[in-house]
Chain A
Amino acid sequence: MAKRAAPEVNAGSMADIAFLLLIFFLVTTTIETDSGINRKLPPIDDSEAKPPVIKQKNIFTVLLNGKDQLLVEDELMELKDLRQAAIEFLDNGGDGSCSYCNGKKDPSSSDNPDKAIISLKNERETTYKTYIAVQNELVAAYNTLRNKRAQSLYGKSFQEMEADYKDVNWPGNKERLKEQIEKIKLEYPQKLSEVQ
């Protein structure tokens, strides 16, 4: 009698098993969104200390009403113009103390990026979507200015620098990079206040 080959296992149902697993994973899992706009809330201040006096020209007021309309410095504005307006305000350098600003040096606008404050006020009826869109534009204004500054100082954008800093495989000198990031953050500090 000749040696018989072992019979082949029927793999026809393998696909069904795999499909079953696949569908199970499709149903029970989600692709998580784990990115967003980071913000820091102001701590509650119980002290009776008087807030420092801030010149009106150093405040950039952004108002969002209940109908999702945008009022910037008492003028109606479209969302798409907000970024540019904020950049012009922050980068103005009105009193000439800011050597790196490229603004118009308009004396009626902000003195210095360090002093310039963006004040955002919204109403209870404002939709979240619009609020996020406005936040996004204001963060974008800061990022644009920081990127420009980083580009001229260190030849790469601020976002790249921050990505490098977080990257464990980045070969450069992390401490120097940190200093550079801090310097740029200091030159264009994010002063975004929200009215409660």
Chain B
Amino acid sequence: MGKFNKKKKGDLPAISTASLPDIVFMLLFFFMVATVMRQNTLMIENNLPFADQVEKLDKKDLVMYIYAGKPSENYKQYGTTTKIQLNDKFADVSEIAAFIAAERASKREELVPFLTTALKVDSEANMGIIMDVKQELRKVNALKINYTTKKGKVTN
């Protein structure tokens, strides 16, 4: 009666992987919803400091980003001092005025007074460059600023 002995005894049935796609899709949707596409390619280290008295920046489209920090591993040839990054390239302090003007020009006129400048600065940066940036922003009358920080306990 060989016909009935095909199944070997003690063989574990294979684990069904039919629900694996569902799990992965779930992860995929989570990441699609919770994240945004990278706007700028960062050429600097950008390890933001922590603070706990933070306010949320609500109008995303009315924010101008200024990055500062040390050039990251791939851009070592630009030195190790803190640099400013505007859009996708390194910039000098004097270029901030033009950057702000360009950002303002790209927004509708009635929204210009609500523009906020978000300073995304590496926690190891020196205040010197930030003071220059702030002075430059005052010159072009972009007075609303936001020191972007991570939410968390202040470590010092």
Where the two chains meet, the residues of A that have a C-beta atom closer than 8 Å to any C-beta of B are: 11-12, 14-15, 17-19, 21-22, 25-26, 28-44, 64, 79, 122-133, 135-137, 139-140, 143, 166, 196
Contacts of A122 in B (CB 8 A): 127, 131
Pairs A–B under 8 Å by Cβ, sample size 10: A12-B17, A15-B24, A29-B38, A31-B34, A31-B35, A35-B57, A36-B54, A41-B144, A128-B123, A129-B49
Contacts of A41 in B (CB 8 A): 134, 137-138, 142-145
Chain A proximity mask over B120-137: 1 for CB below 8 Å, otherwise 0: 011111111011001101
- Partner of B36 from the list A29, A36, A133 (CB cut-off 8 Å) is A29
- Partner of A125 from the list B25, B49, B60, B126 (CB cut-off 8 Å) is B126
| Contact yes or no, B156 A33, CB < 8 A | no
Ranked 10 nearest A-B pairs via Cβ: A124-B128, A29-B35, A129-B123, A18-B24, A14-B21, A36-B148, A136-B51, A35-B54, A126-B127, A15-B20
Contacts of B57 in A (CB 8 A): 34-36
| Contact yes or no, B130 A128, CB < 8 A | yes
Where the two chains meet, the residues of B that have a C-beta atom closer than 8 Å to any C-beta of A are: 17-18, 20-21, 24-25, 27-28, 31-32, 34-38, 48-58, 60, 63, 116, 118, 121-128, 130-131, 134-135, 137-139, 141-151, 154, 156
Minimum C-beta distance from B14 to chain A (A): 12
Please measure, in the bound complex, the distance between the C-alpha atom of A166 and the C-alpha atom of B57, giving whole angstroms: 12
Contacts of B151 in A (CB 8 A): 33, 35
- Partner of B51 from the list A14, A29, A30, A132 (CB cut-off 8 Å) is A132
Minimum C-beta distance from A151 to chain B (A): 17
Other contacts beyond A31-B34, A41-B137, A132-B154: 7, CB < 8 A? A29-B37, A33-B48, A34-B60, A36-B149, A129-B123, A133-B49, A136-B51
A11 and B28 contact, Cβ closer than 8 Å, known pairs A35-B149, A124-B127, A196-B135: no
| Contact yes or no, B32 A25, CB < 8 A | yes
